[in-house]
Amino acid sequence: MTDEPTTALPGRPPIVDMDTWQAARDELLLREKAHTREGDAIAAARRRLPMVEFDGTTEVVGPNGPVPFIDLFEGRDELLVYKHMWHDGAPHQGQCEGCTNAVWHMRDAVYLNARGVSFAIATSGRWEEVAPFVEFMGYTQSWYSVRGLDGPVGGPMGYLTCYLRDGDRTFLTYSTTGRGSEVLTVSLNLLDMTPYGRGEAWEDKPEGWPKGEHPCWYWRTDVDGNATWGPTSRPVPQWTRPGVTPEQTLGRQEHHH
């Protein structure tokens, strides 16, 4: 039996018998296991990072008005917060598709809660704009406005942050952004397992593979599912909302009354 493919389909992996496939799979598994072990070592180093104390009485705004940040812990000792970017005055479809992508994947924190970890979304938007957006999207997470705040509570958006509570004292323990926040977006990890990957131009692909697009190219679509950043598009999950407004309105708040 030769290692040469029995059939070559353009733009697709070579075709081999099961034994040949298993040998190639086992070879890759060695690299995957090394990658897992390195990830475990990095997580161990992350647990050993120092932490920064901050004022947990700093007020943020939620559905019940201003509350101290420490309330986000909901009585638990650990807290994860995703900081959602916000575009002031934009209609619902004009909000950040990347943050929408991340937050949509984390709609229920029940498993985190079972481990004593709370989860919340913070955003720099005004609460009067944020509240109708959260309702429109059908989100069930705890959302808060940190508008005008800096430091561990506010600051730049687009970050995934970790906090620890010791009684009435609160601490920042970890923060990451960019591809570091991909852990929220399970779809990206699953796409990395598929033959064509994420379909993005930066990826290393064999010759003849489908041409990649710009990163995040499919995170916004029009009503027909065509990936576009044009005036008829919105973040992908918005099309799945029950009772979603007609395509012509694109979620403008004046049409929601």
pLDDT tens per residue, range 11-48: 899 999 999 999 999 999 999 999 999 999 999 999 99
Tens digits of residue pLDDT in 149-174: 999 999 999 999 999 999 999 999 99
Domain count, the chain: 1
List the CATH number of the domain containing 129: 3.40.30.10
Q: Mean pLDDT of all residues in the chain? A: 90
Work out the average pLDDT over 182-202.
95
pTM for the whole thing? 0.88
Q: Specify the higher pLDDT residue, 28 or 247.
A: 28
Give yes or no for a contact between 241 and 228, defined as CB atoms under 8 angstroms apart: no
pLDDT for position 248: 56
In a domain, 169, yes or no: yes
pLDDT for position 83: 97
Q: Is the pLDDT of residue 57 over 80?
A: yes
* Residue 123: domain span: 49-183
pLDDT for position 251: 46
Q: Is the pLDDT of residue 254 over 70?
A: no
In a domain, 198, yes or no: no
* 181-190 long-range Cβ contacts below 8 angstroms, 24+ apart: 181/82, 181/102, 184/82, 184/102, 184/103, 184/105, 184/106, 184/160, 185/101, 185/102, 185/105, 186/105, 187/101, 187/105
Give the containing element (helix H, strand E) for 99.
Answer: helix 97-104
In a domain, 2, yes or no: no
In a domain, 88, yes or no: yes
In a domain, 228, yes or no: no
In a domain, 195, yes or no: no
In a domain, 99, yes or no: yes
Going by the DSSP 8-state scheme, the letter that residue 42 receives in this structure is H
In a domain, 98, yes or no: yes
